[in-house]
Each structure stands twice: as C-alpha cells, then as structure tokens.
Amino acid sequence: MVEKRKKRKGHELSNPARKKIRVQNQTQIQVPSSPPPSLSPSSPPCPSSLPSSLSPSSHPSSLSLSSAPSSSSHNWTNDVFPSFRGEDVRIGFLSHIQKEFRRKGITPFIDNEIRRGESIGPELIRAIRGSKIAIILLSRNYASSKWCLDELVEIMKCKEELGQTVIPVFYKLDPSDVKKLRGYFGKVFEKTCEGKSKEDTEKWRHALEKVATIAGYDSST
C-alpha cells in the first residue's frame, strides 16, 4: 500500500502537463471572479459585481484594485457612477448591469432627471466626484457625445485627485481603437472635435488614451 502511494505521488510530480494546469489555475485565481459573501449599499462594488458575460480585457496586466490610491479620507456619497452613450447600451447592456447591481444591493447613480446641455453641469460633477467607483461603458458611439467625453475627463481627474476607482468596459469595441483613436471609434471622435477648441479636444484625447490603459472588461454581447 505504501509503495503504491509513493508511486502515484511520483507519477503526479513527473507529469508536467498536470503541474502546468495547476499553475495556470493559480494564476486565474488572482483575478477577482467571485463576489464577496455579502454586499451592502455601503460597500462599493468590485469588478466581480459586473455581469458574468464580461471577460477581463487582454491588454491590461492586472485587474487588482489594490493599486488604486487611498481614498478613505474622501466623503463618498455614491457607490457607482456609470458613464455611457445611451443609444448604444441603455436598452440592453446597461439594464443588465443595473440588474446585477440591484441583486447585490447596490444603487448606481443614474442621470435620467438631469437636463443635458452643451456641457456637464455642477450637479453631474458633484455626482461624479461623490462616487467611489466610476464604470465607463465605452461603446462605438461613446466619442460622438461631447457630454460623455466631458464626463470622462472629470472621471479621470477624480481618479488622480481623489483616488476614485475607474473600471472601463469595452462594449463591442477593441480597446486599442480607443487608445489609438482609430477605426470607426476614431472617425466618430474626429467628427465630434470639429469646431471645438484645441483645449477641449486635447483633454478628450488624453482622457481616452489614459482610460484605454486601465485594467477593464471586454464584452462582445
């Protein structure tokens, strides 16, 4: 019996394929994939609160939130602020994310009652700056909206100044198209920039380049 056990143990150690699989599994565990036992409205959502149909985008090196700057001294009033282009995601994809948040007991800020103008107003800026996490739903027509681009600039500013956690979701979109402003996304952006000041266009361009390098999620559905 003892010899048989030793032999089996030795076989496992000499099997490189099995050992390799174990190492791969250990690597996968480092990516947050399962929700904590409990989430209350006072607990900010983590990436695992997002729909299971999302997959980590391939370009970032890590999805860990531990590298986010400390924000314990800031008085957060919202759990989540979602930035999105309504015509792309409001009916299907966004409602799915909202459903997941409700299931976790998390209520994201929704700006349905805010009148939209040429630029984001003080009420929306307060909502962005008061949210511990910002989820940016980057879709094909996101850059067609000056409003969305202004939101993104404010969010990236909050990330640097307040330690806000930013989670980009690339919805039916290649992250490299956002970073390099190419393809359909790039064309839409250039059209939005027509007639706008150089200061505005440079701020938008810089914010898009930065958000494209943040660890996030891809969704093709």
- Return the DSSP state at 55: E
- Catalytic-residue membership of 190: no
- Please check whether residue 162 is in contact with residue 132, taking contact to mean a CB–CB distance below 8 angstroms: no
Q: Pinpoint the alpha helices (H) of 30-135.
A: 86-89, 93-103, 122-129
Decide: helix, strand or coil at residue 166.
Answer: strand
**What's the CA angle centered on 48, arms 90 and 213, to 5 degrees?**
75
Single out the catalytic residue among 151, 190, 199, 202. 151
- Please check whether residue 120 is in contact with residue 152, taking contact to mean a CB–CB distance below 8 angstroms: no
User: Residue 55, CB half-sphere, CA atoms under 13 Å: how many?
Assistant: 10
What is the number of other CB atoms lying within 10 angstroms of the CB of residue 81?
26
Taking the C-alpha atoms of residue 6 and residue 29, their distance in angstroms, rounded to an integer, is 29
| Among the listed residues 50, 47, 74, the one whose alpha carbon sits nearest the alpha carbon of residue 130 | 74
- Return the DSSP state at 69: P
- Please check whether residue 136 is in contact with residue 168, taking contact to mean a CB–CB distance below 8 angstroms: yes
* Active site amino acids: 151
